[in-house]
Amino acid sequence: MMDDAPAPNDFSQILSELRSVRNLSQGQLARAAHLSRTYVYHLEHGLRQAPSARAARAIIRALDLHGEERRRFIQAFNDLTGDYLDDENDAPALLDLRHLATLLVENTTFPAHSLDRMWNVSAWNQAARDLFEVTDDDMARHDHHLLKLIYDPQYRRRFQPWEELARRLTADFKFSTRGVTFLPEYRDLTRALKRLPDYRRLSMTSETTTAPPPTFLFHMKHSRFGTLTLRTAISIFSGSLDYSIVVYLPGNQQTLVTFQQCSWQQLAPGHPTALTDQSITVVGSGSNSFPPIPRR
C-alpha cells in the first residue's frame, strides 16, 4: 500500500534544517515561537500546506534568522503559500515596543521598569530609582542587567533574605528565556552570570519546569524608609515576549504609607494603568490582573 502522506516540500525541509543547525527540538522551537509542537511537526513533514504569515514571522524571530537564511526561508514560504511575506527586518517593530515600554514606565508613578527578553533593564522611572536607590551609573556598571545588579555582593545586602529573592529571580529568568538559549547573546550572558558569586549554585537548584506565579513578596531595606515589603506585578506585551514591565506595589500597610508619602501610589492622568482597591491591571499591554494589596 502506498503511503498517502505528502512529501516534504522546500519550506518544510528548510525549516527542519534551520532548526537542526541550532540544536533545537521541535518542542523547543514551538515554545520559542509560541506555537504548538504539533503545528511545528506538521510544518516539517509537509502536513500543513498553508502556514500563516504570523506563524512564519514567529519562526523567523524564534530562530533569529538573518541574511541568506532569512531570505531562503521567506522565499520558500512565498513559493509554498503563494502569499508574499515581506523580507523586512523586524527591528523597527522591536524599537516601537521598546519605545512603548519606556513611555508606559515613565508615565507610571508606581516604581516600575521594563525588561527585554534577556532581562536587560531598558527603562526605569524616577520612582524606581528612588525606591531601589540606583543611578544610571550603577546600572551601567552592571551592564543594565537586573540579575547582575541583584547578585552584586554589596547591593544584595539590602534584601532580606537575599537568597530567597535571588533564587526566585533566577528561576524566573531561566523560565522566561528558555526559548532563546540557542542565541549567541544568551550564551555570552550565561557565561557572564556564572562568574557572579553564588549564581552557579542557585541556578543549579532553581526550578524552571513550570511557570512561576505572576507575583511575589520580598523585603528590602531603604536608607531613609527602613524595611519595606514589596509585591511585584509583571505585565507582558500581548503577542511578544521581547519586552515586559515590572511594577512594584506596597506589600503591607506600613509600605503603603511610605508609597503615599512619596506620591508613588497615584497614577499620571490618563495613563492606561488603573489602581483599584482590588487589583492593578495594565491595560493595553496584556490582560494580566494582579492580586490585591494585603492590609497588615
Per-residue pLDDT of the chain (296 residues; tens, 9 = 90+): 445 555 567 899 999 999 999 888 898 888 888 889 999 999 999 888 778 888 998 899 888 888 889 889 999 999 888 888 865 555 555 556 788 888 889 988 899 999 998 999 999 999 999 999 999 999 999 999 999 999 999 999 999 899 999 999 999 999 888 878 878 889 999 999 999 999 999 999 887 778 788 899 999 999 999 999 999 998 876 555 678 899 999 999 999 999 999 999 754 444 444 443 333 333 333 334 333 333 33
3-state SS string for 68-82? HHHHHHHHHHHHHHC
Residue 92 exposure: Cα atoms within 13 Å on the Cβ side: 2
CATH topology agreement for domains 10-81 and 92-282: no
Q: How many residues does the chain have?
A: 296
Separation of alpha carbons 232 and 175, rounded Å = 17
The residue written with cell numbers 528590602 in the block is 220
**Residue type for position 209:** T
What DSSP character marks residue 289? B
Domain ranges of the chain: 10-81, 92-282
What DSSP character marks residue 36? -
Residue from 150, 153, 144 nearest 132 by CA = 150
Separation of alpha carbons 111 and 267, rounded Å = 11
- Statement: the pTM of the whole predicted model exceeds 0.75: no
- The CATH fold of domain 92-282: Beta-Lactamase (3.30.450)
Q: CB 185: neighbour CB atoms within 10 A?
A: 12
**Class (C level, CATH) for 10-81:** mainly alpha
> Which residues, 6 or more positions from 21, have their beta carbon under 8 angstroms from its beta carbon?
none
* SS3 of residue 7 by DSSP: coil
Backbone angles phi, psi at 227, to 5 degrees: -75, 130
CA angle 33, 44, 70 (to 5 degrees): 60
